[in-house]
Amino acid sequence: MKVCLLYENRERMKEDVYYDTASIIQDLGLRSLFLAAAKEVIYENGAVLRIEKEDPFIVDVMRKVMMSPLTSAEEITYRQEVIADSLNAPDLIRGLYQLSIRVLLKWHELGRGTKGRIQQSNPVMKLISEIRVLHLFCDSLAEMRQMLQGQPLTSRGFKTLRDDLDRVFSKEREEEIRKVLDDISFYTEGLDRKDEGRDQVIRPRIVLECGLEDGLKFSSMKVHEVESRSTKFYRKGSTRDKLQKFMESRVPDSFSTVEDVRIKEQTLQLEFGVVSYLIRKLKGFMDEFQTFFDQLKYQTAFCLGAVQLRQHMGRFGLDYCFPEVCDRRDLSFTDLKEFVMAVEQRVRVVGNTCSLMQKDLLIVTGANQGGKSTFLRSIGIAQVMMQCGLPVTAKAFKSGIFPRIFVHFTRREDSAMNSGRLDEELSRMNGIVEHLGDGSIVFLNESFATTTEKEGALIAYDIIRALKEAGVRILTVTHLLSFAKRVYEETKDRPEAGVEFLSAERKQDGTRTYHMIESEPELTSFGLDLYDKVVGKIKNESMETAQ
């Protein structure tokens, strides 16, 4: 049986992942997103009471699933439906996740091996463990079926899960399995209990058709009936115990094996053989669920991560929506906000609205500390979230599907660098170029600003023109103003060029609004605003000190 909550026709993700996932996670700040998804928000009377510690398993699942993009609108829609159900039934998702954890933990305690089989060297103990695993499966699947019943689930993923469970583990099938478990309960009953305090003992009743060979060996056996019977328990060696054995020995056509060691051994072998036979008859049922609970844990972990991301969005007043897939040359969104900044800085983030229709290149310029990099990251984060079926922090979001996402953000120089910063930037760009293909999008943040304005502008112009000619979508934030001005002059009267220019809004008094507006690139980043602000602050502090 399959879970199929993340994918419609398969259980596991494909091998395709983004190129250089480490850079995507680092530059877009996705590590903070993973951690937020792994932390439950506890509310009391509508207010946040506390934030639970992160679940490392959910962190790992979010990273793996988000770095493996869905590549079709159908796949994205399928998963969005499942996530929407999860957001509407958070207690169900949490319950399924916790159930899978309990099952796998108990299964491990019973000796589960790497392939799902019980790893026990002793045949008897292995058989007993298999019986207990069967009990575990029945109890857990019955609980799961009860959890799914009556839930307002509308997604294909959850409907299929519920229908398949009802088919594979119907109530009739459950009754059959439990009947077998009851019949062989003598084999496991009381193994962990001492004689003291018991007033009942479970004994087997096995009816066979068989022949007898020399030495009273059984042959040609056929099982007619197996049953466990509860009888009065008497302490071994007591008078009542001896009397009961004597009476049993007087029953016509019966005999006692107590005094015959060979027959007693064969009786134990017979019990083992009969129970093993019945468990093998249920092997098909057990094989149905060899990997089911592993996948249930993995896939519900992602759904639970989505639920907990929604909780954190609510903490900071962030609207959310499920993105719509459109043409690759189109990108539009309403009040898009940068989720990672909200989580890390615990602030209410300014949103941006933008519509880029039939555009291949976006160039963002403007005032320093005007929110340009935050704006770029918000688009990158939303694109990654869209391509794994998650809701994004916007009132509306439309974009094409880009299986190949690349990021090229400026990096601070550190001791790990073996060459200069420009060499390092060019090396990373070379890696991106080597992995370009159909459906590529590149996010450039202040790239090539580690050299002079003249050299950086020439490098940026040549590389971005080549990328655009190769059919790559480029979104860039730059302080190379001569580069931006050059592209503007070449394309301002050519709408077919597919280039859009935005600028970080700055009011006359130097105030930054953190909104991006359509604007011709200016030949300044208004760095003097920051200079005046810093110098003015220093002067004021000096005057206060002097006074």
Cβ-proximal residues to 409 (8 Å cutoff; 6+ apart), any chain:
23, 27, 373, 443, 444, 445, 446, 447
- Indicate if 323 and 271 belong to the same structural domain: no
| Torsional class of 209: left (φ above 0), alpha (ψ -120 to 50), beta (otherwise) | beta
Residue 541 lies in a domain: no
- Indicate if 36 and 100 belong to the same structural domain: yes
- Which pLDDT score, from 0 to 100, does residue 228 have? 65
- Indicate if 265 and 331 belong to the same structural domain: no
pLDDT tens per residue, range 296-347? 999 999 999 999 999 999 999 999 999 999 999 999 999 999 999 999 998 8
- Which residue, among 167, 125, 162, 134, has the nearest Cα to 147 in the 3D structure? 162
CA quadruple 280, 282, 287, 293: dihedral positive or negative? negative
Residue 179 lies in a domain: no
Residue 511 lies in a domain: yes
- Indicate if 239 and 322 belong to the same structural domain: no
- Indicate if 369 and 493 belong to the same structural domain: yes
- Indicate if 452 and 527 belong to the same structural domain: yes
Residue 456 lies in a domain: yes
- Indicate if 270 and 322 belong to the same structural domain: no
Helix (H) or strand (E) holding 315: helix 292-315
Mean pLDDT, 10 residues at a time, the chain of 547 residues = 91 82 96 97 88 96 96 96 97 97 94 77 89 94 94 94 94 92 81 48 68 71 65 53 56 51 75 86 88 95 98 93 96 97 91 95 92 96 98 97 95 56 91 95 92 91 95 95 94 93 89 91 61 54 55
326: tokens are 């459109």
Residue 311 lies in a domain: no
Are 443 and 376 within 8 A, CB to CB? yes
- Which pLDDT score, from 0 to 100, does residue 541 have? 58
* DSSP β-ladder status, 396-399 and 404-409: unpaired
Q: Domain limits at 61?
A: 21-152+291-300
Helix (H) or strand (E) holding 440: strand 440-445
- Indicate if 193 and 106 belong to the same structural domain: no
- Which pLDDT score, from 0 to 100, does residue 267 have? 75
Residue 5 lies in a domain: no
* DSSP β-ladder status, 331-336 and 512-518: unpaired
- Which pLDDT score, from 0 to 100, does residue 274 have? 84
343: tokens are 């989580």
Burial class of residue 159 (count of CB atoms within 10 Å of its CB; 0-12, 13-18, 19+):
middle
- Indicate if 122 and 190 belong to the same structural domain: no
**348-353: which pairs have CB atoms within 8 A and are 24 or more residues apart?**
348/316, 348/317, 349/316, 349/318, 349/374, 350/513, 350/514, 350/515, 351/394, 352/378, 352/514, 352/515, 352/516
- Indicate if 296 and 267 belong to the same structural domain: no
- Which pLDDT score, from 0 to 100, does residue 246 have? 57
Q: What is the DSSP letter of 53?
A: P
Our count of domains for the chain comes to 3
- Indicate if 489 and 384 belong to the same structural domain: yes
Phi, psi of 425 (to 5 degrees): -65, -45
**49-56: which pairs have CB atoms within 8 A and are 24 or more residues apart?**
55/301
Q: Which residues pair with 208 in a beta bridge?
A: 223
Residue 169 lies in a domain: no
- Indicate if 243 and 128 belong to the same structural domain: no
Are 291 and 114 within 8 A, CB to CB? no
- The CA-based angle 327-331-335, given to 5 degrees, is 145
pLDDT tens per residue, range 204-223? 677 767 777 776 676 776 66
> What average pLDDT does the chain have?
86
Residue 336 lies in a domain: yes
